[in-house]
């Protein structure tokens, strides 16, 4: 079977014991997951399943894709169960899955909005048309297939966590229906919001049934085909849902960012499993376009509120940046897959940038408030559209972001290590460890670090017996003087800084190839490798075509992007400047958002302070800016 040439080490085989991430993962488990479920209950997202089942007489509550939120939290909860046994949560999921199963129509169809309204005779005609008067009749809009894509992911996660087939059987019954209805010899159409492609691949992986893989590829290949565009002749902007061209002809990231990047992730999965070179070539072009022209410094993507969409090349406004939390998550999913395809550290550089900045900003330290959009500047005023607020909100009517964060945090361990044949990759610097089988020998791996606050990482290897393999430790682009793997941003002082690699205390000459320092040797119990990265504060400038950032610099240290907030700077940030010659001093503050390293400098007579971008908006509503005039 074809597959990714590199395999991630799954989070359920990885321990996270890390001063930065462990508290966040614990908050995810103890606060975010319960709060998400509670809000799904309060907003009747869960009651919708009872209504579809006919055991509650109420009308469908909320948006037509509210089912997906429940599925996403179940997925996150299932990850949590794999790393932290919790009988109460397990029982809660059992009961919830039974309610979901009761909402499924006899042939496998599951979409509460239609099931409920159909039974009620579609009293609101306009709404019914939007949701689809008949099944699959408004696929470009109604999220019928998006919802179940999330269900497939959740069902696989639940099966893997518990060994119970309850949810998986519901998902498979639905997927079998989808496979009957859509296909080369059946209906030609595409879902308006991608996601089912990723879900189908997960069903394929867990069952080995190739129909699901073929179905994922069918949906992808169906995009941009003239025959089904005629079906939607009135749909004005096929680019919004990446239906303007066949996927293999796409080379610019356009339209709704989450849809686009879920699609790219699905394409990568299908390419890995089928060996489709045209898919990979398209992904490479799309990645160059995003990373070269459409990526915020924070790793956020999707510049425009209108259509939640990618902007034109270099259209990267700061205050009105959309940079949806879900899009940051999608960027993590996609870049992980690009790494698994190509094995280059530049993809993990983008992943890491997104994770520590544009994704993490989406969640409050308490785990119960969320940003939907993640702007790079704010004047403390409410921005139009959705929850683009000057501060985080407990929930949104469209709550895709709060329910997405639990999926990524719950599976964070999957991004730390990977293996290719006998080689071991260390991608993220997170304390903890794993055991991995390399060339038939179990190798214990333990990592210690205070990343992102310092750049020292020690990895101890404990093979069960002496064994030869190659350890590939990622050397981040930032350590080599490269802000991003493109010319979109660069450091004012781009000199590579000190990168030292020690094996059992002996300094090695480091040659970084494809983003990794590789050490091949016969490893024995207790061997250790230390990567020592200098973490100077770096000034970043944008490509000249990013109009808003002209004459401005941003600050980074290690993987973190910094920002200034009014609360630290006399209330307003408009007059904060960063003189080119100002010396910047890092100062540890243990009280702010779990402890952060602040950056301070003298701006005339005033002392200025910057904090990590992810930590902003924890001290009331106020101004914020990432890009500062010099």
Catalytic (active-site) positions = 308, 400
Parallel, antiparallel, or unpaired: how do β-strands 467-474 and 527-533 relate?
A: unpaired
Least spacing, CB of residue 311 vs ligand FUB, in Å: 15
Q: State in angstroms the smallest separation of the CB of 307 from ligand FUB.
A: 9
For ligand FUB, give the closer residue by CB, 308 or 349.
Answer: 308
3-state secondary structure at position 471: strand
Q: What are phi and psi of 616, to 5 degrees?
A: -65, 160
492: Cβ–Cβ under 8 A, 6 or more apart, which residues?
538, 539, 540, 541, 553, 580
Nearest residue (beta carbon) to Zn ion = 326
Partners of 625 in the β-ladder: 377, 564
Q: Do 265 and 408 touch, CB atoms closer than 8 A?
A: no
Residue 386 or 627 with smaller CB distance to ligand FUB: 386
> 441 is in the binding site of which of ligand FUB, Zn ion, none (Cβ under 5 to 8 A by kind)?
none
- The enclosing H or E element of 542 equals strand 537-542
CB of 130 to ligand FUB, least distance (A): 13
Q: How near is the Cβ of 398 to ligand FUB at its closest, in Å?
A: 5
Contact residues: Zn ion, CB under 5 A:
324, 326, 400-401
Least separation in angstroms between CB 334 and ligand FUB: 14
Closer residue to Zn ion in complex, CB, 262/489: 262
**Partner interacting with residue 527 (select from Zn ion, ligand FUB, none; CB below 5-8 Å by kind):** none
Lookup: tokens for 601: 């400098």
Enter the tokens of residue 520: 């091949």
- CA 76-166-112 angle, to 5 degrees, is 75
Q: Going by DSSP bridges, is the β-strand pair 423-426/467-474 parallel, antiparallel, or unpaired?
A: parallel
Residues in the chain: 630
Nearest-angstrom CA–CA distance, 347 and 351: 6
Smaller CB distance to ligand FUB: residue 16 or 326?
Answer: 326
Which does residue 193 touch among ligand FUB, Zn ion, none (CB within 5 to 8 A, set by kind)?
A: ligand FUB
**Residues 264/286, Cβ–Cβ less than 8 Å:** yes
What are the start-end ranges of the H helices in 368-518? 400-410
Say if CB 515 and CB 348 are below 8 A apart.
yes
For residues 232 and 396, which CB has a smaller minimum distance to Zn ion in the complex?
396
Indicate which of Zn ion, ligand FUB, none lies near residue 308 (CB less than 5 to 8 Å, by partner kind).
ligand FUB
Q: Which is nearer to ligand FUB, 311 or 515 (CB)?
A: 311
276 binds, among ligand FUB, Zn ion, none (CB under 5 to 8 A by kind): none
Q: Which one of Zn ion, ligand FUB, none is in contact with 398 (Cβ closer than 5 to 8 A by kind)?
A: ligand FUB
State which residue, 61 or 545, has the beta carbon closest to ligand FUB. Answer: 61
Our CA dihedral for 425, 428, 430, 436, rounded to 10 degrees, sits at: -20
Instruction: For the CB of residue 150, give the shortest distance to Zn ion in the complex, in Å.
Output: 12
Say which residues have a Cβ less than 8 Å from residue 404's Cβ, sequence separation at least 6. Answer: 72, 325, 326, 329
Cis peptide before 452 (omega within 30 of 0): yes
Q: Minimal distance in Å, beta carbon 324 to Zn ion?
A: 5
- Residue of minimal CB distance from ligand FUB? 258
409 binds, among Zn ion, ligand FUB, none (CB under 5 to 8 A by kind): none
Q: Which residues pair with 628 in a beta bridge?
A: 553
Q: Smallest distance, Å, CB 400 to Zn ion?
A: 3
Q: How far is the CB of 233 from ligand FUB (least distance, A)?
A: 23
62 versus 101: smaller Cβ distance to Zn ion? 62
CA atoms of 521 and 368, how far apart (whole Å): 47
Q: Which residues of 446-485 are buried (b: 16+ CB within 10 A; e: fewer)?
A: bbbbebbbbbbbbbbbbbeeebebbbbbbbbbbbbebbbb
Nearer to ligand FUB, 64 or 469 (CB): 64
* Chain centroid offset of residue 374 CA: 14
Q: Are 61 and 117 in contact (CB under 8 A)?
A: no
**Min. distance of Cβ 523 from Zn ion in angstroms?**
43
Structure tokens at 312: 């034109």
**Residue 3: other Cβ atoms inside 10 A:** 12
Could you count the other beta carbons within 10 Å of the beta carbon of residue 590? 7
471's CB contacts (< 8 A; 6+ apart) are 423, 424, 426, 459, 461, 518, 519, 520, 523, 529
Residue 331, token pair as written in the block: 């960027």
Q: Minimum CB separation from ligand FUB for residue 68, in Å?
A: 7
Coil, helix or strand for 366? Answer: coil
Residue 270: which of Zn ion, ligand FUB, none does it interact with, CB under 5 to 8 A by kind?
none
When CB distances are held under 5 to 8 angstroms depending on the partner's kind, the choice from Zn ion, ligand FUB, none that residue 11 binds is none
Binding residues (CB under 6 A) for ligand FUB: these are 65, 193, 258, 308, 324, 326, 398, 400
Nearer to ligand FUB, 5 or 394 (CB): 394
**How would you class 7 by CB atoms within 10 Å of its CB: exposed for 0-12, middle for 13-18, buried for 19 or more?**
middle
Closest by CA position to 52, among listed 42, 40, 64? 64
**Considering beta carbons, is residue 18 or 36 the nearer one to Zn ion?**
36
Q: Would you state the structure tokens that stand for residue 627, as one six-digit string? A: 């890009």
């Amino acid at each position: 079977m074809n597959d990714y040439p590199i395999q991630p080490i799954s989070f359920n085989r990885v321990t996270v014991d890390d001063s930065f991430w462990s508290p966040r993962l614990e908050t995810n488990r103890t606060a975010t997951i319960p709060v998400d479920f509670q809000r799904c209950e309060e907003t009747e997202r869960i009651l919708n399943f009872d209504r579809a089942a006919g055991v509650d007489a109420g009308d469908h509550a909320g948006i037509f894709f509210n089912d997906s939120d429940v599925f996403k939290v179940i997925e996150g909860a299932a990850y949590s169960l794999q790393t932290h046994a919790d009988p109460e949560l397990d029982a809660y999921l059992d009961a919830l899955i039974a309610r979901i199963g009761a909402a499924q129509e006899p042939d496998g169809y599951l979409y509460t909005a239609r099931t409920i309204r159909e039974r009620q005779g579609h009293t609101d005609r306009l709404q019914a048309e939007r949701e689809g008067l008949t099944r699959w009749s408004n696929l470009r809009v109604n999220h019928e297939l998006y919802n179940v894509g999330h269900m497939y992911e959740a069902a696989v996660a639940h099966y893997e966590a518990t060994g119970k087939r309850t949810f998986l059987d519901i998902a498979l019954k639905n997927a079998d229906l989808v496979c009957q209805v859509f296909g080369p010899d059946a209906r030609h159409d595409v879902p308006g919001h991608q996601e089912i492609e990723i879900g189908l691949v997960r069903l394929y992986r867990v069952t080995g049934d190739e129909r699901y893989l073929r179905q994922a590829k069918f949906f992808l290949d169906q995009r941009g085909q003239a025959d089904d565009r005629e079906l939607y002749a009135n749909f004005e902007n096929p680019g919004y849902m990446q239906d303007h061209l066949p996927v293999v002809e796409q080379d610019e990231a356009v339209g709704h960012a989450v849809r686009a990047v879920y699609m790219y992730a699905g394409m990568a999965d299908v390419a890995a499993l089928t060996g489709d070179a045209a898919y990979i070539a398209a992904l490479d072009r799309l990645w160059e376009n995003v990373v070269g022209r459409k990526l915020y410094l924070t790793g956020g993507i999707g510049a425009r509120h209108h259509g939640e969409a990618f902007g034109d090349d270099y259209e990267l406004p700061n205050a009105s940046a959309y940079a949806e939390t879900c899009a940051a998550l999608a960027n993590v999913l996609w870049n992980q897959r690009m790494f698994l395809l190509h094995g280059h550290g530049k993809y993990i550089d983008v992943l890491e940038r997104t994770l520590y900045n544009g994704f993490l900003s989406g969640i409050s330290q308490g785990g119960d408030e969320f940003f939907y959009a993640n702007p790079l500047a704010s004047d403390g005023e409410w921005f139009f559209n959705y929850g683009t607020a000057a501060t985080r909100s407990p929930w949104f009517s469209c709550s895709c972001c709060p329910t997405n964060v639990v999926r990524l945090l719950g599976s964070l361990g999957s991004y730390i290590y990977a293996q290719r044949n006998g080689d071991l990759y260390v991608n993220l610097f997170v304390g903890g460890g794993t055991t991995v089988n390399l060339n038939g020998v179990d190798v214990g791996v333990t990592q210690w670090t205070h990343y992102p606050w310092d750049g020292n990482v020690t990895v101890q290897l404990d093979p069960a017996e002496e064994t030869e393999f190659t350890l590939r430790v990622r050397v981040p682009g930032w350590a080599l003087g490269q802000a991003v793997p493109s010319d979109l941003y660069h450091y004012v002082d781009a000199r590579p800084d000190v990168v030292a690699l020690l094996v059992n205390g002996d300094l090695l000459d480091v040659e970084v190839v494809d983003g990794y320092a590789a050490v091949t040797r016969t490893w024995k119990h207790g061997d250790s490798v230390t990567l020592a990265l200098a973490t100077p504060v770096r000034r970043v400038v944008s490509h000249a075509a990013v109009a808003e950032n002209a004459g401005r610099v941003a600050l980074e240290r290690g993987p973190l992007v910094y920002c200034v907030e009014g609360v630290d700077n006399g209330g307003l940030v408009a007059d904060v400047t960063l003189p080119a010659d100002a010396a910047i001093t890092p100062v540890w503050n243990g009280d702010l958002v779990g402890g952060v390293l602040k950056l301070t400098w003298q701006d005339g007579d005033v002392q200025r302070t910057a904090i990590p971008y992810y930590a902003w908006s924890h001290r009331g509503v106020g101004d914020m800016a990432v890009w500062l005039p010099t």
